[in-house]
């Protein structure tokens, strides 16, 4: 299928329309992602399954999405993000519709953890990052912060909506509505509003791919990046930062319900996290472009550390003040991930190979995103409490900014000289 470029007027207007469209796409895909915190409670009650089992479906969803990261990055440069959005949005909607038919645990694992995850992997984060980085190679932190604010909007809208749908129509119809919303937005947006970055055109002509400009150059490939300690340092930042934040975001509803907060109120707190993260993402992205990635990460994870204390106090004294203080702190802290973390990798390993390098690092992110919620659930099932999980989260919140300063994206290394005879050499 040939997709003609869209006519959107001047270049500046086109670029910001693409940012807005990407923000809405991320709102849909990650709204579904974080709404699972509500489904976790509903499915546990419906089937009597353990939290470990129900969290396992989410962990599989995250891992499946993450393992597609390198392939999504590679495909984004070969066929363009636009086509990936079209295919991925369709597959994700099918997976959500099938999840509504769950009667056994493996149905949920196959539909949500398998099919929906594959769609998410193609139409979600890596594809969006490649798209925005291609259009904004200079102001990447700022543009990514604005685009990723859509995730906060998705949390704000989808988490309370899922709770209302579950209360009114049941969790099966909640899954079906998510499927309808997914296909109703992503497919038209990809066709009418999104355009592939100009730099990708060199890989999109003819059966034999063209050579990058010049044929010879000094730029990072996955192979050369993976030989450096900084690549693994970035992976450490990604793993620690995402483990603690995802653990909190997925289990916050269950934690609050366990401590006497109503399901709707707990879901409202989850939505408030999304609301706070909207300006947070744009703010951290702009700050990191001006004052440095390390400072932004340090301030953000200070908020995450404080949010852990606020959550404990909200559990002991479930009054609105503590609940919304927690939402404010975790919303601000968590929002640095989407805006600044991709910019760290771009600072250190930018160039034609960035899509594959970042796609591979995204697999590390998803390993953390899967490990955090599963580990917290396992700790709860073994001890009857989240206490040990919260202490673990505090350790990760301290370690993430320490690693960011060690990696020091403000002082990138020059890539090693290496002849790149074809686009295929972007892969190891």
**Angle, vertex CA 388, rays to CA 382 and CA 393, nearest 5:** 130
Task: Answer yes or no: is 2 within a domain.
Answer: no
- Distance between CA 300 and CA 276 in Å, rounded? 13
CATH of the domain at 236: 1.20.1250.20
- Distance between CA 218 and CA 417 in Å, rounded? 5
Q: What is the DSSP letter of 6?
A: P
Q: How confident is the model at residue 2 (pLDDT cuts 50, 70, 90)?
A: low
Task: Answer yes or no: is 63 within a domain.
Answer: yes
- Distance between CA 105 and CA 57 in Å, rounded? 8
Classify residue 196 by burial, with Cβ atoms within 10 Å: 0-12, 13-18, 19+.
buried
Query: How many C-beta neighbours within 10 Å does residue 204 have?
Result: 14
Which tokens belong to 318?
Answer: 């479930």
- Distance between CA 277 and CA 336 in Å, rounded? 9
Residue 250 belongs to domain spanning: 12-197+219-413
Q: How many domains does the chain have?
A: 1
In sequence order, what DSSP letters do the residues of 253-273 get, joined into one string?
Answer: HHHHHHTT--HHHHHHHHHHH
Please determine, for residue 48, whether its predicted confidence score (pLDDT) is greater than 80.
Answer: yes
Please determine, for residue 207, whether its predicted confidence score (pLDDT) is greater than 80.
Answer: no
Task: Answer yes or no: is 214 within a domain.
Answer: no
Q: Which residue has the tokens 């645990």?
A: 105
| Confidence (pLDDT) at 3 | 54
- Distance between CA 328 and CA 332 in Å, rounded? 6
Q: State what percent of residues in the chain have pLDDT above 70.
A: 91
- Distance between CA 280 and CA 294 in Å, rounded? 16
Task: Answer yes or no: is 55 within a domain.
Answer: yes
Q: 373-401 burial string, b = 16+ CB within 10 Å, else e?
A: bbbbbbbbeeeeebeebbebbeebbebbb
Cβ contacts of 212 within 8 Å, gap of 6 or more? 202, 352, 420, 423
Average pLDDT over residues 95-103: 97
Q: What is the pTM of this model?
A: 0.81
Task: Answer yes or no: is 98 within a domain.
Answer: yes
- Distance between CA 347 and CA 89 in Å, rounded? 30
| Confidence (pLDDT) at 300 | 97
In sequence order, what DSSP letters do the residues of 139-179 get, joined into one string?
Answer: SHHHHHHHHHHHHHHHHHHHHHHHHHHHHHT-HHHHHHHHH
Query: How many C-beta neighbours within 10 Å does residue 309 have?
Result: 15
C-alpha closest to that of 54 among 122, 118, 107, 9: 107
Task: Answer yes or no: is 133 within a domain.
Answer: yes
**Chain segment 244-281, per-residue pLDDT in tens:** 998 998 888 888 988 888 878 888 887 888 888 889 98
- Distance between CA 218 and CA 227 in Å, rounded? 15
- Distance between CA 297 and CA 402 in Å, rounded? 9
Q: What is the DSSP letter of 5?
A: P
Q: Which of 68-72, 200-204, 248-252, 416-420 has the lowest mean pLDDT?
A: 200-204
Task: Answer yes or no: is 239 within a domain.
Answer: yes
| Confidence (pLDDT) at 165 | 95
Cβ contacts of 146 within 8 Å, gap of 6 or more? 19, 23, 281, 282, 285
Task: Answer yes or no: is 427 within a domain.
Answer: no
Q: Which of 238-242, 290-294, 297-301 has the lowest mean pLDDT?
A: 290-294
Beta bridge partners of 217: 418
């Amino acid at each position: 299928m040939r997709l003609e470029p869209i006519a959107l007027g001047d270049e500046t207007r086109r670029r910001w329309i693409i940012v807005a469209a990407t923000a809405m796409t991320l709102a849909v895909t990650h709204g579904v992602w974080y709404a699972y915190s509500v489904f976790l409670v509903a499915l546990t009650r419906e089937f009597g399954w353990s939290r470990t089992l129900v969290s396992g479906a989410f962990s599989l969803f995250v891992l499946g999405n993450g393992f597609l990261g390198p392939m999504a990055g590679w495909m984004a440069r070969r066929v363009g993000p636009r086509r990936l959005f079209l295919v991925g949005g369709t597959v994700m909607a099918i997976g959500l519709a099938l999840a509504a038919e769950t009667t056994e645990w493996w149905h949920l694992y196959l539909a949500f953890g398998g099919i929906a995850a594959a769609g998410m992997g193609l139409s979600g984060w890596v594809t969006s990052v490649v798209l925005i980085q291609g259009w904004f190679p200079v102001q990447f932190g700022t543009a990514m912060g604005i685009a990723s604010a859509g995730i906060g909007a998705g949390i704000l809208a989808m988490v309370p909506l899922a709770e209302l749908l579950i209360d009114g129509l049941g969790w099966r119809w909640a899954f079906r509505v998510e499927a309808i919303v997914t296909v109703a937005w992503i497919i038209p947006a990809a066709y009418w509003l999104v355009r592939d970055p100009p730099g990708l055109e060199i890989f999109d002509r003819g059966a034999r791919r063209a050579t990058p400009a010049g044929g010879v150059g000094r730029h990072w490939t996955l192979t050369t990046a993976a030989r450096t300690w900084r690549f693994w340092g970035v992976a450490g930042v990604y793993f620690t930062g995402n483990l603690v934040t995802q653990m909190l975001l997925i289990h916050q509803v269950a934690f609050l319900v366990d401590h006497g907060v109503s399901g709707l109120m707990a879901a409202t707190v989850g939505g408030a996290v999304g609301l706070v993260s909207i300006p947070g993402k744009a703010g951290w992205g702009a700050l990191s472009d001006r004052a440095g990635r390390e400072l932004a990460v340090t301030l953000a994870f200070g908020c995450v550390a404080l949010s852990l204390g606020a959550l404990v106090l909200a559990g002991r004294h479930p009054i609105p003040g503590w609940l919304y203080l927690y939402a404010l702190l975790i919303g601000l802290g968590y929002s640095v991930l989407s805006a600044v973390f991709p910019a760290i990798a771009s600072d250190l390993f930018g160039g034609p190979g960035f899509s594959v390098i970042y796609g591979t690092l995204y697999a590390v992110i998803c390993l953390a995103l899967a490990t955090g919620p599963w580990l917290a659930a396992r700790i709860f099932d073994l001890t009857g409490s989240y206490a040990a999980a919260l202490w673990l989260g505090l350790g990760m919140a301290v370690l993430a900014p320490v690693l960011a300063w060690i990696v020091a994206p403000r002082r990138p290394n020059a890539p090693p000289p290496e002849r790149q005879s074809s686009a295929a050499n972007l892969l190891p």
